[in-house]
Amino acid sequence: MSEIRTVAQIPTRLLTTKVSFFGCRVEIALREKGIPFSRDEVDLNCKPKLLLDLNPIYKKVPVVIHDGKAIAESLIILEYLEEVFPEVPLYPKEPFERANVRFWIDYMYKAFHSMHAAMMYRKGSLERIAAADHSMEGLRKIDETMTTLSADGPFFSGMEFSILDVVLAPLVTALTSIDALGGITLPGFDECPRLHKWIGFMQTHPSFLASLPSSDVVFKTLLRTLYDALGRQDKPLFRHVASSHKPLTKPAAIPVSNIVQILRR
């Protein structure tokens, strides 16, 4: 007689990379749902055949392999996990509430895209200013929405952890890097108190602590991305961002003179 396996016993494997905001979301959802998984970090500068085979269209991480089948694209993976592992729900059941939550997921996804764009465009360029403005507006709207849903939180929509917390998660570590690298002056506590409280609370939340890289690791990775894209041609910009970084959690200044060693690590 064949062995009957519960869904959680079917092997789950996550392909991600050292710092992947998209991969982190999937990791948090897996942990919140109590799904055992193995985690493999892929080198995106030298993509392994496995990744190209499993995600031949986009060739990106994260990819989840569940029961021998590969699922790509973080938001699609999150919905898949919800359908296959419904025991710990992260989305609301009611269709209108669910639609609303999907709206905010889409909004946050785009706000992150603007932050990344703000970082990648040249300093002072119109594109950089527009992207920075768009992401600032995004953060203000997110603060407003959180406050409307629940003035005190502690989670995005109140007392219950939800998919909105998962999707906003990268903000917890990305903020200082985006600030330093993206040339964005982020809205302060006075302007977005609920958002700042959320960030503080999430820095103590177990699934976040286990899944998010430290702000220093995020900074170094983004700095390398920026250096590869711009730094070689724009040394003053590179020096500026390297020296203006202030880590969110651990006070460990990065002297500009050490920058080469940092990038070699």
Ligand X SMILES: N[C@@H](CCC(=O)N[C@@H](CS)C(=O)NCC(=O)O)C(=O)O
> Which positions lie near ligand X, rule CB under 6 A?
17, 20-22, 44, 59-62, 73-75
Query: Min. distance of Cβ 204 from ligand X in angstroms?
Result: 25
Cβ neighbours of residue 64 under 8 Å, at least 6 residues apart? 12, 13, 14, 15, 26, 70, 71, 77, 80, 81
Shortest distance, position 61 Cβ to ligand X, whole Å: 4
* C-beta separation of 30 from 57 below 8 A: no
Nearer to ligand X, 17 or 211 (CB): 17
Indicate the residue among 62 and 247 with the shorter CB distance to ligand X: 62
Amino acid at 235: K
Provide, rounded to whole angstroms, the least separation between the CB of residue 22 and ligand X: 4
Nearer to ligand X, 167 or 192 (CB): 167
The least distance separating ligand X from the CB of residue 180, rounded to whole angstroms, comes to 19
Residue number, 57 or 159, with CB nearest to ligand X? 57
Q: Would you say 242 and 263 are in contact if contact means Cβ atoms under 8 Å apart?
A: no
Name the nearest CA neighbour of 210 among 62, 75, 39.
Answer: 39
As a whole number of angstroms, the distance between CA 261 and CA 136 comes to 33
- Closest residue to ligand X in the complex (CB): 60
Q: Which residues, at least 6 apart from 79, have a Cβ–Cβ distance to it below 8 Å?
A: 91
Q: Which residue lies nearer to ligand X by CB, 42 or 139?
A: 42
- Smallest separation, CB 21 to ligand X (Å): 6
